[in-house]
Amino acid sequence: MNEFVNYLNSINNIGGNSTGSLAEYQVKSPFYDYIKIDRRIGNHIANSVSSQSYRAYILTGHAGDGKTSILVQVLKMLSLLAPGEGLDVHKEYSNFFYIKDMSEIPEAALVNLLEKALQAPGHNKTSLLITNTGPLLKSFLTLAKKRKNAIGSELSPEEEIELRSTILTQLDKNEDKEIELAGYRFVFVNIARLDNVAFATKILKKIANSDLWSTCDTCSAIDRCPIRNNQELITSHYERISTFIDNYYRYLYENDKRMTIRQMVGQICFGLTGNLSCDEICNRYLKEPFFTYNFANSFFGYLGLDVNRDSLQINGIKHIQNLALDKIALNVDYKLFVNHDYNFFPKNIRKELVELEHKSRKYFQVSDENIAALTSEQRNTANLRMAVRRFYFIYGVNTAEYSIDGIFNQIFGKNFIDYKKMITSAQPSSMVRKMQNVVFNALYIKNTGFLPNGSSDLPLTLRREDDVYQSALLVLGEVNKSDIRVVSYRVTNQLEDTGEKYELYIQLKDALFKLSLPMIKYFNDLINGTVASNSNPALTHGIASLDTLLLDQFGEVKPNRGEDCEISIIINTTKGQQIQRLDFNSNRLYIE
């Protein structure tokens, strides 16, 4: 019996016991120190105490972002938390004061405790206050009014608006420097704005650490235990498995589906255990345990070939099922499903897939499309094909012909890997130029309906915002290709847990436009002729913002009516594009 298995199962929210996901429970667990990941912001706060550079810190964020875990880290670094000791709602030490959660404090005491936390640096203490935005706003307003009343004044409506605006604006900034508000100086950090993708693979490695699985060595069921099999697979193929997991969570993060640390850990733990217990494995016969409960299936929310409906309670599994990655046709499909070539897999995984093949010799010939309309036998065949792809994502060996990067570009969008490289490290100019060409070609198609065909000038046109073909477009300005540059700027923040981090922008003269992964996918879809941007409001807003910026920077100012002017019209014909220039001069129209 390995108690660590019960601990892992308590972290996801599949069963009735999900207490392990709460930091208050974890801090008392003997396994917590084995899998915890220290964070930079925790080091930053602890160092302010040890260096006597006392500061007041306020942390906010989503449930599961690790706010309480940061408090635990600070307390342990300062040797203020004994093994097995729990957390108080608030507690004061000689050089440190914390409030675990403002929502747990009676409303009558909130303002006084907030004031105490903000005044801590003046009493040679560092303070850490953890809160949701609502209680913080309300308490700050009350505190600001209290300070005004103390000097015989009142908080004006303008000052109240400014206070609210400062707090809400800071939620999007996350600067590692103090701000001043209502006469107090403090560091305000929204954990939800910190990039947490790197945590997933670090935790995966810690969970698979052999020290936590030594108890299994003497278990009578070790030769048929799917959990131990998954642990050994993760240890043996960590680089490949972690690469997929990292790219999957990066894709979600860049598409505004950021996962909290708790959600990522829950999915990884479920992928490893399938929510099985040691008792179930020892006392039940599990059919094909190494396939049915394989990490490649459980991480995707499958129980063998069938969807595990209970697993959809896990946010990461719900997202991965909605993406339907295992239904996407891959370049490697021909090798896998026609040539029966399993040399892309490690030996032990190859054995599982050969047994899969023996179940149905016909599964290679069934289309993945419209599975609901298939017969029961055909559906089973299609499900087998999807399972092979899941195993390929998790365990597939990298080759020159079928590279890992190429697979990720197929399932997450062309240029996904280039984008990821450009936001994590400085890249050669050739990659930057490649991205600039994507941007220019896509904008040209968007504005004219045609590829540039060697043209180096981008027309800014007045057009319908739908898919209706227009034979004539009024030109509002022109942009030379050299004026559309892709640039990257390194993000420097002592609170971020990632290494190097860059942000990409389209530079238009002195203006910058943030270049996101959804926007790059939109540009590639334009080039490939498959676009539907209206389903994503954030993307639609970004497209409109870019159009406005282009016109602002490069649009031609038209004269008032009655004055002489020249206008250009793009005419789309079956033979290509023609540019017609019309010159209005002395109430006469001249056509060039």
Q: Identify the pLDDT of residue 363.
A: 44
Residue 581 lies in a domain: no
**Per-residue CA distances from 458 to 9, 111, 246, 572 (Å):** 56, 57, 37, 15
Residue 562 lies in a domain: no
Residue with tokens 């308590």: 10
Mean pLDDT, residues 396-425 = 91
Residues 188 and 246 in one domain: no
What one-character DSSP code corresponds to residue 449?
Answer: S
By CB atoms closer than 10 A (0-12, 13-18, 19+), residue 474 is: middle
* CB-based contacts of 410-414 (< 8 A; 24+ apart in sequence): 410/328, 410/330, 410/331, 411/323, 411/325, 411/328, 411/330, 412/247, 412/251, 413/517, 413/520, 413/521, 413/524, 414/521, 414/524
Last residue of a domain, one of 138, 166, 193: 193
Query: Distance between CA atoms of 309 and 246, rounded to whole angstroms?
Result: 24
Mean pLDDT, residues 378-386 = 78
Residue 260 lies in a domain: yes
Residue 430 lies in a domain: yes
Residues 305 and 443 in one domain: no
Mean pLDDT, residues 354-365 = 62
Residues 71 and 113 in one domain: yes
Q: Which domain holds residue 46?
A: 37-193
Residues 227 and 368 in one domain: yes
**Per-residue CA distances from 394 to 24, 248, 295 (Å):** 33, 11, 8
What one-character DSSP code corresponds to residue 366?
Answer: S
Query: Distance between CA atoms of 67 and 189, rounded to whole angstroms?
Result: 10
Full-model pTM = 0.89
Residue 340 has a CB neighbour count (10 Å cut-off) of 12
Looking at the chain, how many residues does it have? 592
Q: Is the pLDDT of residue 16 over 80?
A: no
Q: Give 18's contacts (C-beta < 8 A, 6+ positions apart).
A: 10, 11, 12
Residue 429 lies in a domain: yes
Mean pLDDT, residues 39-60 = 94
Last residue of a domain, one of 176, 193, 210: 193
Q: Is the pLDDT of residue 6 over 80?
A: yes
C-alpha 394, offset from chain centre: 19
Q: Give 87's contacts (C-beta < 8 A, 6+ positions apart).
A: 24, 27, 68, 71, 72, 100
Look at the chain and report how many structural domains it folds into.
3
Query: What is the chain's mean pLDDT, rounded?
Result: 86
Residues 83 and 47 in one domain: yes
Query: Distance between CA atoms of 318 and 310, rounded to whole angstroms?
Result: 10
Q: Identify the pLDDT of residue 485.
A: 94
Q: What are phi and psi of 508, to 5 degrees?
A: -125, 100
Q: How confident is the model at residue 267 (pLDDT cuts 50, 70, 90)?
A: very high
Q: Identify the pLDDT of residue 450.
A: 83
Residues 241 and 369 in one domain: yes
**Residue 56 near residue 48, CB atoms below 8 Å:** no
Q: Is the pLDDT of residue 156 over 70?
A: yes
Residue 407 lies in a domain: yes
Antiparallel, parallel or unpaired: β 56-60 and 184-190: parallel
Tens digits of per-residue pLDDT, 500-529? 789 999 999 889 999 999 999 999 988 988
| Nearest Cα residue to 40 out of 170, 205, 176 | 176
Residue with tokens 């990257």: 488
Q: Give 222's contacts (C-beta < 8 A, 6+ positions apart).
A: 216, 228
**Per-residue CA distances from 521 to 251, 411, 467, 515, 516 (Å):** 11, 12, 18, 11, 9
Q: Identify the pLDDT of residue 348.
A: 87
Tens digits of per-residue pLDDT, 107-136? 889 999 999 999 999 999 999 999 988 888
Q: How confident is the model at residue 18 (pLDDT cuts 50, 70, 90)?
A: low
Which amino acid is residue 153, in one-letter code? S
Query: Distance between CA atoms of 365 and 550, rounded to whole angstroms?
Result: 49
Mean pLDDT, residues 351-379 = 61
Tens digits of per-residue pLDDT, 474-483? 888 889 999 9
Tens digits of per-residue pLDDT, 485-499? 999 998 877 788 877
pLDDT cut 90: percent of the chain above it: 50
Residues 186 and 41 in one domain: yes
Residue 582 lies in a domain: no
Q: Identify the pLDDT of residue 319.
A: 97
Residues 231 and 282 in one domain: yes
Q: What are phi and psi of 487, to 5 degrees?
A: -130, 155
Angle at 101 between CA 100 and CA 106, to 5 degrees: 120
* Window from 28-32, 186-190, 286-290, 535-539 with minimum mean pLDDT: 535-539
Q: Identify the pLDDT of residue 574.
A: 66
Residues 442 and 384 in one domain: no
Residues 361 and 335 in one domain: yes
Residue with tokens 């890992």: 404
Tens digits of per-residue pLDDT, 173-197? 777 788 888 889 999 999 988 899 9
Q: Is the pLDDT of residue 361 over 60?
A: no
Last residue of a domain, one of 412, 442, 465: 412
Residues 98 and 233 in one domain: no
Q: In which region does residue 443 sit, left (phi positive, over 0), alpha (psi from -120 to 50) or beta (all else)? A: alpha
Query: Distance between CA atoms of 273 and 293, rounded to whole angstroms?
Result: 8
Residue 462 lies in a domain: yes
Residues 303 and 331 in one domain: yes
Q: Is the pLDDT of residue 27 over 80?
A: no
**Per-residue CA distances from 541 to 44, 461, 525, 533, 548 (Å):** 37, 18, 17, 10, 11
Mean pLDDT, residues 54-60 = 95
